[in-house]
Structure 1
Amino acid sequence: MTDRRTPFDRECAARGWGQPSVFLRAFEETARTTGETVALTDRQLRRWRKPDPPRPHPRSWRVLHAMFGMCPTALGFPGPVPGATVDAGRGQRREGADVDRRAFVTDSLGATAGLALGSSHAVGSAHVVELRAGLRSLYDLDNAYGGDAVRSLAVRHLRRISRVINTGTYADAIGRQLQLLAGETAEQCAWLYYDADEQDTARRYWGQALTTATMLRDDGLEILVLASLSMQAIHENRPRDGVDLARAAHQRAVPLGSPVLLSLIAAREARALAGMRDHAGARKRLADSMRLSDRDSRGRPTPDWAAFHGPAELDFTQGLLYAEAGHHKAAVPFLRAALTRQDRAYGRNRALYRLTLARGLVQAGEVDEGAAEAAGCLEHLAEVESGRVQRRLTEVRDLLDGVDATIARESTEALTDYIQ
């Protein structure tokens, strides 16, 4: 029999919220926990249950995101994500604690396995599934809001998994799954600290993840860590290390046969080569990356962590290569295309892309347009807490500060108010 329920109804039923009164209580509790001032009526809920539901108010959107651990577009609601619709005046920013409270509910939804082991402390596959769901929630929250706000949740989740490993009883097969999950969560902690621009802490968690990958002889986790370390090396202006790490990741990835994974690694190597001023080599590896990306339907499935890699990321990389070579006018069309193609679920990346486009426009001499892009980006930053985005914002502000033009001065003032 065909299931005629809407995605929203199915997800409600899966969480025990099928009855309207139960859902309304859960919504109210979530709103209170996350600090959102919003109420939901029975009439509004009935409208949400229809096949073509209206777009929720931004505050309701954030509560739904926290309740379900997924972007409300996955529940059947029309976009955009809350970061694109939240009202925020100049100089107003949500503190990381607000996002932390909002995300805590999602984290708790994925923490049942760690909290409900019972007196026997017997761990089974259901516990692993729920702990992994918690990690997926962290991925979604990071994509939407950035690393600053989510990193404390990831550290707590890692501690929870470690507690299960050290206090539970389980079969060897379950033990391996738990160890792998701990390694993947350590890697996510590293990524979040990298995005928060706390590189020493990121390096420590990547080291922990790499140790786990080596112990388990898990190629997938090892490739993920090596590719991530290559990215960090590029960020820290260590391009030779970036090349070596990317090539080590490539060597291990070839047997897996995933074109998208190989494309991502090739793009990382291209960035590192550009940092070494090997622009011909960088162009070649980016061309390789593009060819591999076009073959994504012919090889093995893409790992979940690499799902972000696609046309938008390749356009962004091409724009960065031109910019780093000093060809700012050539960079602008690619940076613009990257922003247009970027999925709205990636709120942090969209903010980074738009600020990078603003920087490119100013460097290309298009000061008016660059200043407008930079000022327009502020409304999208109300929900984003990312050290990398903050650094790019400061770069753009400093560039505009050196331009003697009215719009540049106005934009500089707006960016300075926001940064402060």
Structure 2
Amino acid sequence: MATSPHSPNTPFRRLRGQHSPAEFAALVRRAAKEIGETVSCDARYIGRVESGEIRCPNYAYERVFLHMFPGRTLADLGFSPRETVRGRLAQREQAASFSAFAPHHPHPHPTGFPAPSRSKESDVLRRAFMAGGSATVAAATLSLTLLGDTRRLPSRAGESEAAAVEDAVRQIRLLDDRHGADALYRRAAEPLRTAYALLDAGATRQSTEDRLHAGAGELAISVGWLAHDSGRFDDARSHYAEALATARVSGDAGLEAHAFSNMAFLARDCGRPRESVRAAQAGRRAARSLGSPRLLSLLALREAGGWAGLSDRKACEEALTRAHTEFSRGEAGADPEWMSFFGEAELESLESRCWAALGEHARAARHARRAADLQDPHFARNVALYTAELADNLAHAGAPDEAAWAGGRVLELLEEVQSTRIQSMLAATARTLVPHQRSPRVGSFLARHASA
């Protein structure tokens, strides 16, 4: 039976079985290649399908899914009939599921996907972690349900509770992609407290406890990122430190590398470039044994950003070279699920920030423009971020009219994205453009910015 709007797509989740969203996304890409389709399916897309946000896939995904599961219809896979998904909602959902062209490495074709068992009690927890609808409604759901259910936690956590924590991480990331951090941060702290309460309660087996450690640590990083992006740097530092401590206690090198990556990013934003370099290098040491070139590429970019902040051009260029070398090795099965955001667009954006810090704004603008052009449009927050970077670099590079155009585009995107970080960047660009306000295009942008 097809799901109703905003209700979880249970049939599709059942088909995924014990595969992680990233693993299942790889299977989708492999199946697409088999029939000559090209889809850039990733863990976020799978999460949006399973949450019910994508009620009906576009035609490319439809062909891939029906190829993967012969004899089944879209309704069997939990989707609504295409003719019932119409109007503006249909247009948004189809745009959200439209895929960019990108090469991917093949993985084995799926065979069977058994449904995991879940207790009634764990379903309460799962609903507490899930969210749907607008960012405001979703954030309220994250918090208020948990406030009523924390006393009903099991005496010992099982596999279903671990899965609920993992789902919380995915839901927060999905909502951040769509709406930015500001509307989510304070509400998302409740699932984090519950995750650590589950960890304190202990687990029924060691494998479950390992999952809880990893899930709670990833959730701490996700909540820390919401604090980071909404300008609450002290809170972000605390959450990242909590994740790092969790990684060290559990001996989780992947979680440790992730925590250090975000700590390097935060240090750069806080004006502590040397700390940023040290954190990125620590992350690289943790990541060496993981077999993920993309993770090493990201950490090299974090390090490059720190060196740029120290005005060390030579060290920055060396780190950038390492980043491109590792990135060119392609995706790997060991790539962490959280890294689904890190594609060519993000690489271009991070390099753009390096050149901007070194004062080469024209060069930075070229990379920022490529980042905005390459980014999938349904990741509205990142499109807004990259376009804001472009506007600022153009303003500093002596192209005020182009900067004003890009700034106007960011204003449009900020109608659906709430990010203090992006708003602060745009305000700085507006100040840079004030001397050029006699230009009609600049004047119009400054007026719109002031009214916004």
CA distance in 1, matches of 2:12, 2:339: 28
Aligned equivalent of 1:301? 334
Q: CA deviation at 1:301?
A: 2.6
The 1:223–1:103 alpha-carbon spacing in structure 2 relative to 1, beyond 3 Å, is same
2:295 paired with 1:264: no
Aligned equivalent of 1:346? 379
CA contact (8 A) 2:365 2:389 kept: no
Q: CA deviation at 1:277?
A: 0.9
CA contact (8 A) 1:117 1:123 kept: no
> Aligned AA for 2:258?
L
> Aligned AA for 1:57?
R
2:321 paired with 1:321: no
Q: Structure 1 unaligned runs (5+)? A: 17-25, 28-44, 62-71, 81-96
2:88 paired with 1:57: yes
The 1:98–1:54 alpha-carbon spacing in structure 2 relative to 1, beyond 3 Å, is closer
CA distance in 1, matches of 2:84, 2:299: 40
CA contact (8 A) 1:52 1:77 kept: no
Residues 115-159 of structure 1 deviation map (CA, whole Å, 9 limit, x = unaligned): 7967x6453212211221122101111122111111123201112
CA distance in 2, matches of 1:136, 1:263: 23
| Correspondence 1:168-207 to 2 at 5 A | 170-207=204-241
Q: Structure 2 unaligned runs (5+)? A: 15-50, 53-74, 101-132
Give the root-mean-square deviation of aligned CA atoms: 3.5
Length, aligned pairs only: 356
Query: Which of 352, 361, 364 is matched with 2:394 structurally?
Result: 361
The 1:200–1:122 alpha-carbon spacing in structure 2 relative to 1, beyond 3 Å, is closer
CA contact (8 A) 1:359 1:396 kept: yes
> Aligned AA for 1:381?
L
2:404 paired with 1:409: no
Aligned equivalent of 2:198? 164
CA distance in 2, matches of 1:203, 1:321: 22
Aligned equivalent of 1:247? 281
> If the length of structure 1 is used for normalisation, what is the TM-score?
0.75
> If the length of structure 2 is used for normalisation, what is the TM-score?
0.70
CA contact (8 A) 2:3 2:80 kept: yes
> Aligned AA for 1:200?
D
CA distance in 1, matches of 2:98, 2:84: 8
Percent of pairs with identical residues: 28
SS state at 2:183 partner: helix
CA distance in 1, matches of 2:267, 2:202: 38
Q: CA deviation at 1:11?
A: 2.2
CA distance in 2, matches of 1:140, 1:374: 25
CA distance in 1, matches of 2:227, 2:9: 31
The 1:301–1:108 alpha-carbon spacing in structure 2 relative to 1, beyond 3 Å, is farther
Aligned equivalent of 1:127? 161
The 1:55–1:139 alpha-carbon spacing in structure 2 relative to 1, beyond 3 Å, is farther
CA distance in 1, matches of 2:440, 2:203: 67
Q: CA deviation at 1:289?
A: 0.7
CA distance in 1, matches of 2:8, 2:138: 23
> Aligned AA for 2:286?
R
CA distance in 2, matches of 1:12, 1:300: 26
Q: CA deviation at 1:58?
A: 4.9
| Correspondence 1:37-116 to 2 at 5 A | 49-50=80-81, 57-58=88-89, 72=93, 99-105=135-141
Q: Which has the higher contact order (CA 8 A, sep 6+)?
A: 1
The 1:358–1:227 alpha-carbon spacing in structure 2 relative to 1, beyond 3 Å, is same
Stretch moving more, 4-13 or 281-290: 4-13
Aligned equivalent of 2:416? 383
CA contact (8 A) 1:151 1:189 kept: yes
Q: CA deviation at 1:53?
A: 7.3
Aligned equivalent of 1:143? 177
Stretch moving more, 254-263 or 361-370: 361-370
The 1:405–1:10 alpha-carbon spacing in structure 2 relative to 1, beyond 3 Å, is closer
> Aligned AA for 2:239?
Y
2:186 paired with 1:152: yes
Query: Which of 430, 447, 452 is matched with 1:397 structurally?
Result: 430
The 1:10–1:398 alpha-carbon spacing in structure 2 relative to 1, beyond 3 Å, is closer
2:275 paired with 1:230: no
CA distance in 1, matches of 2:304, 2:205: 44
